[in-house]
Structure 1
Amino acid sequence: MTESSSTDYVATGPRRGGGPHPGLLALISLALFLAGLIVGAALSGGATLQSPFAETSDVVARFADHAFATRVAALFQFGSAVPLGIYAATVYARQLRLGIRVPGPAIGLYGGITASLLLLVSSMTTWVLSRAEVSVDGALTHALAYLSFITGGVGYVVGLGLLVAGLAVPALILKLVPAWLAWTGLVIAALSELSFVSMVVEPLQVLLPIGRFGGAIWLIIVGFLLPQTRAAANRERP
């Protein structure tokens, strides 16, 4: 990397702050998602946390016997997707205010919007699975369960990884956050992107919770630490 690489990341000029606080948005998103897991599990005795990789009869019975719990879990999951999308737009605008003029912010925006939309699709599919009219068809129920899993699992985590990477790379080069935090983000992003291999190698599904919760916590921390203006970023540099 040449000495001019940092300047390639910066466009000078005044920038103004504004918009919702990204740290709070990420915190709200994670809180709603966790609430959906906890409330859904409490109402169903843990059935809503079970994997779709089971016998069709077991999958059908789970949604038929715990329709209300499934619907509540879908509600919270839907709610958590909205602040995530707003977060992606907010940090994208902030990176532009910081003068970052490389593909990173756009990649992060694409990843964040993708993650938010796929989480919405997953939650709406889960809501459909809670309907009695659907659970009478075993093959359809199992197919929708797989769709809910792949969109809210691999699809969501890969998108979230792109959002993390789009923040971590410029933050590392411009020293917008501590170096250890930026490197942690890069590791989380790499593991999140690698999780797509789990579509064929199922043991790699262990990467999904790492990307989901590790990425969410990382976004919260960065949301509180990311400078709002170039002047603030310059003051925070060593």
Structure 2
Amino acid sequence: MAGALQFAASIPLAVYAATVSARLHRLGVRAPGATIALAGGLLAAGFLALCGLVSWTLSRTEVLDLPALVRALQYLAFATGGPGHVVTLGLLVAGIAVPGLLAGLLPRALAVTGLVLATLAELATLALLFDGAALLLPLARFTCLGWLIAAGFLLPRRRTRTHKEL
């Protein structure tokens, strides 16, 4: 059940990435930020979907009879749903926060917080090298998702004169 729900959760993330990228373009962002947001969001959604599918595979009784395969799939589920998802989620956040800050599209405090969270998400790569760094994974995942919700509400729908062209 958890694997299926995780797979399903990847779809709204992909839609969000496409929508926010299109909105940034509509707001006049010509810098790479909008494309970075799209790439990061699609990769994060892809890794989340893959993790869900691998987790679903681990629930199959015929797989459970093969301990070596189970262990390999557990590592794959961790890598895709942990660092793979979180690090690319950080790219989505950075792709929104940078143009949000430079073009004045987001409140300064929110944009700077996004940059800090994106950095934290990128540091989650260390979870592949050091077990203790795995603490960064839920910390970055949940704060980034909360930030994306706030940015989605605060990113303007139309360009005003106070926004700078990038």
Q: Give the TM-score normalised by structure 2.
A: 0.95
Say whether the 8 Å CA contact 2:104–2:162 is kept in structure 1.
Answer: no
One-letter amino acid matched to 1:144: L
Q: Tell me, what secondary structure is at the counterpart of 2:157?
A: coil
Measure how far apart 1:201 and its partner are.
Answer: 1.5
Give 2:61's match in structure 1, choosing from 132, 138, 145: 132
Say whether the 8 Å CA contact 2:97–2:111 is kept in structure 1.
Answer: yes
Say whether the 8 Å CA contact 2:47–2:81 is kept in structure 1.
Answer: yes
* Partner in structure 1 of residue 25 of structure 2: 96
Distance 1:81 1:222 in 2: 19
Measure how far apart 1:95 and its partner are.
Answer: 0.4
Give 1:161's match in structure 2, choosing from 90, 105, 112: 90
Corresponding position: 1:119 with 2:48: yes
Give 1:150's match in structure 2, choosing from 60, 63, 79: 79
Measure how far apart 1:74 and its partner are.
Answer: 0.9
Q: Which blocks of at least 5 consecutive residues in structure 2 are unaligned?
A: none
The structure number with the bigger radius of gyration is 1
* Partner in structure 1 of residue 35 of structure 2: 106
Q: Tell me which moved more, 196-205 or 112-121.
A: 196-205
Distance 1:106 1:182 in 2: 17
Measure how far apart 1:175 and its partner are.
Answer: 1.6
* Partner in structure 2 of residue 4 of structure 1: none
Measure how far apart 1:76 and its partner are.
Answer: 1.2
Distance 2:4 2:70 in 1: 19
Q: Which blocks of at least 5 consecutive residues in structure 1 are unaligned?
A: 1-71
How many residues were matched structurally?
163
Q: Trace 1:3-22 onto structure 2 (pairs within 5 A).
A: none
Cα root mean square deviation, aligned: 1.1
Q: Give the TM-score normalised by structure 1.
A: 0.67
Give 2:137's match in structure 1, choosing from 205, 208, 216: 208
Measure how far apart 1:159 and its partner are.
Answer: 0.7
Distance 1:124 1:75 in 2: 7
Percent of aligned pairs with the same amino acid: 49
Say whether the 8 Å CA contact 1:188–1:210 is kept in structure 2.
Answer: no
